[in-house]
Structure 1
């Protein structure tokens, strides 16, 4: 289990760097946080799914699994953002909080729902 989590966390670091970098570039070009975050999230979650399917869980990357992963991570992202807006959390703290929460909850969901072994 620790080996799986270490692999998942390694991909998570790359995923976070990818998300934040794409966000910064798109925001610089377009000036919209909403569009920047949507594009960055889409690229990062896609990378994360395929990397974890292959390297962490040695599973097939099916369309069904991809949609389940994206739906869960997208909902988690939206819920964290909604809570942050409600309590007026600074944007940087929102990003850091989401990154930490998505690492733990994303691993649990991936391990036991998306990439669980089929009997």
Structure 2
């Protein structure tokens, strides 16, 4: 399996992933704010904001956070990344909005979803970009 440049340590990947995650969260929350103010529809706003943020997240993580598998087509990695992201990030944040917005408000519900999804996203991003969850042999 071909890799781009020197292999990064797991700690290095985690730090870079966290930095990208902070930027990604800012993009997501900014887009959510804008769309929510225009539509007043939390779930539609969440979908649009997530769509904007996922493109940035893939670009940054595949080029900076992880050791990209050069034998795997970028389009294939992107489809896996978006699919896993839809299941984890979008699924958890929508579930959080549906479950909690009536109890704690839209913004706290949105933030609960962001926090819960963060850890799961590292594993999903590593799998979709590197083609493996753990070090060593590929788990395609």
Q: Secondary structure at the match of 2:130?
A: coil
- 1:74 aligns with 86
Q: Work out whether 1:20 is the aligned partner of 2:16.
A: no
Counterpart CA distance in 1 for 2:52 and 2:46 is 10
Counterpart CA distance in 2 for 1:13 and 1:68 is 21
- 2:40 aligns with 31
- 1:40 aligns with 49
Mark the runs of 5 or more structure 2 residues left unpaired by the alignment: 1-9, 132-136
In structure 2, relative to structure 1, the CA distance for the partners of 1:20 and 1:100 (3 Å cut) is same
TM-fit CA distance, 1:80:
4.7
The answer to whether the Cα contact below 8 Å between 2:96 and 2:109 also exists between their aligned partners in 1 is: no
- TM-score, L = length of structure 2: 0.71
Q: Secondary structure at the match of 2:47?
A: helix
In structure 2, relative to structure 1, the CA distance for the partners of 1:30 and 1:94 (3 Å cut) is closer
- 1:8 aligns with 17
- 2:122 aligns with 107
Q: Deviations over 1:36-94 (max 9, x none)?
A: 21111000011001100001114257111111111111112224533653466533333
In structure 2, relative to structure 1, the CA distance for the partners of 1:65 and 1:78 (3 Å cut) is same
Aligned residues: 118
- TM-score, L = length of structure 1: 0.82
Structure index of larger Rg: 2
TM-fit CA distance, 1:109:
1.8
* CA root-mean-square deviation: 2.3
Q: Secondary structure at the match of 1:115?
A: helix
